[in-house]
């Protein structure tokens, strides 16, 4: 069953079409990653799915409801976003920041309920943030901050989470830790993920499905292993790409011409 339906979506910036006539469906409890060269429209697409951009044409439907028919609080209860460059305000503790994920349920003027506090505590523990809970958010390292931003998104208790380049700036260990954590949420909690990633090897290893985007249009949409080994992938990036099998995992290697 499709939890996200994108139908003939077009998004413009002035007269320029950033994405044009894009259609795709995402099944509940799966991980779909958007790949493609710089300027392909990846961020535009996921921001539109998250409700941050308005479509010039077409539609986005989540859980059977048109996104543009929802108000901000309603959207925040069905889809959460981990942006590429999140704003992290100084003077706020990690736990206070994570608690912002519950504001869609109790509002900004009402105190969080016992259930809200329980959900925040559970997410903080799940992402191993207990030792940082009372620290100022600006004191965290890059990996710690990414976990905190993800914790806020998970605290929203949405069925869909959208991530724009979630491993940017993280070292290899923290990249794998974050992606493994997300994969666990998909497999054990039925979370649906739509993400963008530049690392084709990791994209292919963690996503169930890849959507190759170029110049604002879908070039190829299919199982990760099929897209990673496709001729279209090299053509879109404009370089020779080789795929090497390493213990059953596809590793994408660019080759000098």
Q: What is the mean pLDDT of residues 225-230?
A: 96
Contact 241, 255 (CB under 8 A): yes
How high is the pLDDT of residue 90? Answer: 85
**Three-state secondary-structure class, residue 142:** helix
Count of all residues that appear for the chain in the document: 257
| Stretch 247-257: mean pLDDT | 91
Look at residue 21 and tell me whether its pLDDT is greater than 90. Answer: yes
Query: Tens digit of pLDDT for each residue in 110-154?
Result: 777 888 899 999 999 988 899 999 999 999 888 888 889 999 999
In whole angstroms, give the CA distance from residue 20 to residue 12: 8
Q: Report residue 243's pLDDT band, with 50, 70 and 90 as the boundaries.
A: very high
Task: Pick the more confident residue, 87 or 97.
Answer: 97
Identify the band that residue 237 occupies on the pLDDT scale cut at 50, 70 and 90: very high
Q: Does residue 78 register a pLDDT over 90?
A: yes
C-alpha span between 187 and 182 (Å, rounded): 9
- Give the three-class secondary structure for 159: coil
- Quote the pTM value: 0.91
Q: Write out pLDDT tens, residues 56-67.
A: 999 999 999 999
Is residue 154 within a helix (H) or strand (E), and if so which, with residue range? Answer: helix 142-155
Q: What is the CA radius of gyration of the chain?
A: 18
The count of other CB atoms within 10 Å of the CB of residue 216 is 23
Would you say residue 51 has pLDDT above 90? yes
DSSP-derived pairing of the beta strands 240-246 and 217-223: unpaired
Q: What pLDDT shows up at residue 109?
A: 63
DSSP 189: H
Nearest to 82 by CA among 152, 136, 34: 152
pLDDT given for residue 108 in this prediction: 65
The full set of domains in the chain, from first to last, is 2-78+159-255 (3.40.50.300), 85-157 (no CATH)
Rounded-to-integer distance, Cα 50 and Cα 20, Å: 17
Closest to 140 (Cα-Cα) out of 152, 148, 151? 148
């Amino acid at each position: 069953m499709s939890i996200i339906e994108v139908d003939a979506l077009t998004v413009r910036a002035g007269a320029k079409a950033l994405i044009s006539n894009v259609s795709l469906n995402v099944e509940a409890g799966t991980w779909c990653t958007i790949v493609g060269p710089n300027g392909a429209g990846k961020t535009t697409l996921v921001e539109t799915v998250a409700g941050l951009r308005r479509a010039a044409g077409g539609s986005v439907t989540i859980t059977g409801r048109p996104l543009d028919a929802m108000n901000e609080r309603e959207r925040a209860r069905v889809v959460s976003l981990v942006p590429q460059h999140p704003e992290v305000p100084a003077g706020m503790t990690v736990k206070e920041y994570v608690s912002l994920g519950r504001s869609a349920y109790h509002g900004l003027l009402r105190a969080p309920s016992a259930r809200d506090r329980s959900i925040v505590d559970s997410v903080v523990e799940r992402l191993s943030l207990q030792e940082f809970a009372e620290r100022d958010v600006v004191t965290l390292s890059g990996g710690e901050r990414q976990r905190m931003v993800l914790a806020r998104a998970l605290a929203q208790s949405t069925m869909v989470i959208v991530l724009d380049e979630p491993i940017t700036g993280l070292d290899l260990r923290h990249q794998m830790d974050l992606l493994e954590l997300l994969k666990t949420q998909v497999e054990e909690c039925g979370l649906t993920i739509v993400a963008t990633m530049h690392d084709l090897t990791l994209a292919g290893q963690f996503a169930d499905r890849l959507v190759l985007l170029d110049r604002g249009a879908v070039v190829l949409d299919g199982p990760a292993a099929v897209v990673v080994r496709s001729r279209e992938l090299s053509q879109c990036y404009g370089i020779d790409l080789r795929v090497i099998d390493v213990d059953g995992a596809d590793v994408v290697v660019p080759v000098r011409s």
